Amino acid sequence: MILAIDQGTTNTKAVLVDREGQPRSRASVRMNISTPRSNWVEQNPDEIWRSVTQAVEECTRLSPGVKIDGVAISNQRETVVVWDRKTGRALAPAVVWQCRRSEAICERLRAEGLEAELLARTGLGIDTLFSASKISWLLENIPGLRAKADAGQVCFGTVDSWLISKLTCGAVHACDASNASRTQLLNLARCDWDENLLEIFGVPRSALPTVRDSSCIFGECACVEGLEGVPIVSAMGDSHAAMAGHGSYAPGTVKATYGTGSSLMTLLHGLKDAQRQVATTIAWSLGGVSQYALEGNIAMTGAGVAWVGEFLGMHEPVAGAVKLAESVASSEGVYFVPAMSGLGAPYWDGNAKGMIGGLTRTSCAAHLARAAVEAIAYQVRDVFDAMSSAAACDLPALCVDGAATRNASLMQFQADVLQKPVLRSGCEDLSALGAAWFGGLALGWWKSTAELERLPQATRAFTPCRPATEMDQLYAGWHVAVARARLQGPPGGARK
């Protein structure tokens, strides 16, 4: 089997996948997130590593005697880890993708008129989401780090490269093209680090990992009991791995992964001119050939529901808020815009603030909870429509995966809001599955993505059942709420 490690923001999972491409056993370890200051989001790199070893140990314990032929990695993206090249010791907390501490750096870049150049080279607009400004912040604010980095003593990396380094006892410093494309340091056309970008962000090339295919032999495991000598056979950003796990590799396929935040992605025929509303990215690289895609990122979907549960003082914030939401038939005109960390695609407004609107004398906690769940569907439509416009084609349906897709009422509401079919994957660990499938390509289990398309897939379709006129009216109310959330930012903020 292939052991797939899916290191996410809120959970680390380990999944064993067999030669038929099917998951056989799984384990999950909960992750902690720290917010030491407003707009700061951190994780402990050592805890990330411990969660991996714990999940692997539990997963393999559930399937004793299994022969593991390879390790596949999918991971939370844009999060930055920095460690000492010689000792392997982390030198700072991991700066999580949601963190906005580098906003001043982004503002400086905008003031210098660099957005058009960055967009053209990387497919990404200026935003704190991407790794480059986070690396710059660390270099500017961690005492002595700049000198160590310039002397070649430091490694920077996304979470895949941190795990590859740990699994190989520091022997390999590498990442895959999909993760590299989310750093804003990679030249999309050349699939390599860009010297001009490195100069703009002040990042020494020697500190960065080698960029490799998403499916290849990265190195051999040496530091986890039971995995000694097992090759690392793939690495992919979790959204990219989920795209692969849906098993449709033709341009025009669009998927949404519902997690802490959400990501929509659709494959392209080739590299297109970059646009501001949705990013251009590398879905994966196979045999040295980049598969390009459009992507839209939403910062808070599941996290928005969790926030409401915490705000209402629930012991289990997500489960409690979802249950409360199901106790009412609608939000009764209440809207919740989860812009506590600004708004991502298609607005890219870091100055927006979270907003609850539409309250009346009869509004109650259940209506707020319902509004938090419905906000997921509205945000997905925002990006879906922007992506359809950018791709200049009609996107006929939405493939979905992730924990929130287990909520059938949300999926039906999503279909109604889109007025398009929603196709839910039957696999709850699709990112892990996609990484394992690409690992299987490296091992020769399958010869091409055409063979992956023929692997068994279980899906459930949700089709629209509410009138388009009714849903358009509700969606118009959402746009009013978003406009109010954006007006709450400081004067002069981005209002595109």
Please state which of the ranges 148-152, 247-251, 450-454 shows the lowest mean pLDDT. Answer: 247-251
Checking if the pLDDT of 495 tops 50, the result is no
For 85-138, the pLDDT digits (tens) are 999 999 999 999 989 999 999 999 999 999 999 999 999 989 999 999 999 999
Q: Crossing angle, helix 468-487 and helix 408-418, to 10 degrees?
A: 90
The predicted pLDDT at position 370 comes to 96
pLDDT-derived band at 234 (thresholds 50, 70, 90) equals very high
Pure H helices in 91-247: 103-111, 115-122, 131-141, 145-150, 159-167, 177-180, 195-201, 238-245
Domain ranges for the chain: 2-238
**pLDDT score of 489:** 58
Radius of gyration of the chain from its Cα atoms, rounded to whole angstroms? 21
Question: What is the mean pLDDT of the segment spanning 454-460?
Answer: 87
Residue-wise pLDDT tens digits, 294-327 = 999 898 999 999 999 999 999 999 999 999 999 9
d(C-alpha 388, C-alpha 258), whole Å: 19
Query: Domain 2-238 sits in which CATH superfamily?
Result: ATPase, nucleotide binding domain (3.30.420.40)
Pick from 384, 439, 376, 385: nearest CA to 411:
376
Where is 440: in which H helix or E strand? helix 430-443
Contact in structure between 139 and 202 (CB atoms under 8 Å):
yes
Of the pLDDT bands very low, low, confident and very high (cuts 50, 70, 90), residue 492 is very low
What would the pLDDT profile of 381-409 be if each residue is shown by its tens digit? 999 999 988 887 788 899 999 888 999 99
Distance, CA of 379 to chain centre: 15
pLDDT-above-90 percentage for the chain: 81
Q: Which two tokens stand for residue 394?
A: 């009609």
Give the residue among 247, 224, 210 at the shortest CA–CA distance from 438: 247
Between residues 400 and 253, the one the model is more confident about = 400
Beta strands in 384-496 (DSSP E): 398-402, 422-425, 459-462
Taking the whole predicted model, whether its pTM rises above 0.75 is answered as yes
pLDDT computed for residue 119 by the predictor? 93
The total of other beta-carbon atoms located within 10 Å of residue 211's CB is 22
As a whole number, the mean pLDDT across the chain is 93
For every residue of 149-168, which 3-state class applies, written as one string?
A: HHCCCEEEECHHHHHHHHHC
* Position 351 pLDDT exceeds 90: no
